[in-house]
Structure 1
């Protein structure tokens, strides 16, 4: 199907689209499970932690600091408030370790961005803690390839309408690329953009959603470097 308007702007999610992220949360959750092994079975603890994260999103937002506070809250819950201070200290240490972890970009990311820079306006659109996202961007070495950086508290239809109007020619002439159907794909389609889902092997439970298979502007790719031939097809149509 031929695009309704020329594509001029491409937005990219960051965590688990440009660089690894969720794997560090999983490793830390494993560490947390061991710390509370005498107080809760692993599956039950995971359910309680996810429930705490869900409750706290509106207060703490997305990111490591909110995750750390949710672990502390869960530890207090499952121990009836009797969690040892040593365990609280270990949870805080685990959070700090996550904030210091080196950034590892995903395969094909840098080459793909380099090929697209100058051909399209490139905008990184990521949610999470401002300091941590700025740290990861700086360590990734990818910053100079983007025309704009947007670190937002959440992603909805209005987010994409606003960002693509500010940094491009509007949502209808933009594309969003990311690993989350819930945050990167569905709201971008609702805004009128193209949306490309590049699944990551690990995706947080709160980012799961059903794929919008009937949407004409929806595409799914196995790897980010498959974006180049897709764009060639779309722009040639």
Structure 2
């Protein structure tokens, strides 16, 4: 089935791993965390327990670096049976600060695409994570000028998108979402009658991965964000 974009008036973009690098820094931090805890468990076991802790804490802390750091600290306490040193806790806090201080590395083609599309479409950012951290990254990115609206959501499910589009007075059939996560950026959007473009990133958090049975299609996948210009211009 051919996907047409004739009615599109508003284009939404995810931020992390769509506009700039993000997940890579979490994977690096996980490796450093495993080294900090290496006297207690294997790297594989530490990774498993940390992910389990993140899932248990997700409703409390939400997404982002701060919740990740809290889960690392709690995992360290559990994995060490309460014997983890204050030096190791300090090391974990340092990992978090390192992540927050990372420079914003724009992905290939992003600014070119935003500059082109902003001439003909209303552009918005729909992302999730820690509000302060996302605001900080947006400021450092230098991309704010291209967007009419920036929204940091606690979750990216059908209801969240539906409520936000209604609030912004955007008809689903006039909206296109661009993002790297099928689970968060693509499938919920298609399910509410809007359009979506999937731009895969080389690393995907396990929580964002989608089983084949959940994927009903109805969207376009591109290898590079520049390809969007072929069918929107």
State TM-score, norm by structure 1: 0.93
* 1:199 is aligned to 2:204: no
- Per the TM alignment, residue 231 of structure 1 is displaced from its structure 2 partner at its CA by 2.1
Report the equivalent of 2:217: 215
Q: Distance in 2 between matches of 1:2 and 1:39?
A: 52
For structure 1, list consecutive stretches of 5 or more residues without a partner in the other structure: 233-237
In structure 2, C-alpha distance between the alignment counterparts of 1:16 and 1:54, rounded to whole Å? 20
Moved more, 39-48 or 169-178: 169-178
SS of the equivalent of 1:24 reads helix
Q: How does 1:13-92 map to 2 (within 5 A)?
A: 13-92=14-93
Distance 1:115 1:49, change over 3 A: same
Provide the C-alpha distance between the structure 1 equivalents of 2:231 and 2:159, rounded to a whole number of angstroms. Answer: 26
Q: Name the residue aligned to 1:235.
A: none
Structure 1: which 4+ aligned runs deviate by more than 3 Å? 1-5, 210-216
Q: Quote the Cα distance in structure 2 between the aligned partners of 1:5 and 1:16.
A: 27
Deviates more, 1:161-170 or 1:122-131: 161-170
Shift of 1:154: 0.7
The unaligned stretches of length 5 or more in structure 2 are none
Question: What is the RMSD of the two structures over their aligned residues, measured on CA atoms?
Answer: 1.5
Q: CA deviation digits over 1:97-150, x for unaligned, max 9?
A: 111111110000000000000311111000000000000000000001001101
Within-5 A mapping of 1:111-190? 111-190=112-191
Counterpart secondary structure, 1:17: coil
Aligned residue number for residue 225 of structure 2: 224
Q: Cα deviation per residue 1:17-36 (whole Å; 9 max; x = unaligned)? A: 00000111111111101101
**Count of aligned positions:** 231
Tell me the distance in 2 between the aligned counterparts of 1:5 and 1:114.
20
Shift of 1:164: 2.3
For residues 136-169 of structure 1, the C-alpha deviation after alignment (integer angstroms, 9 at most, x for no partner) is 0000000010011011111011222222233353
* Structure 1 CA distance for aligned equivalents of residues 136 and 104 of structure 2: 9
TM-score normalized with structure 2 length: 0.95
In structure 1, C-alpha distance between the alignment counterparts of 2:4 and 2:145, rounded to whole Å: 29
Tell me: CA distance 1:112–1:90, structure 2 relative to 1, closer, same or farther (3 Å). Answer: same
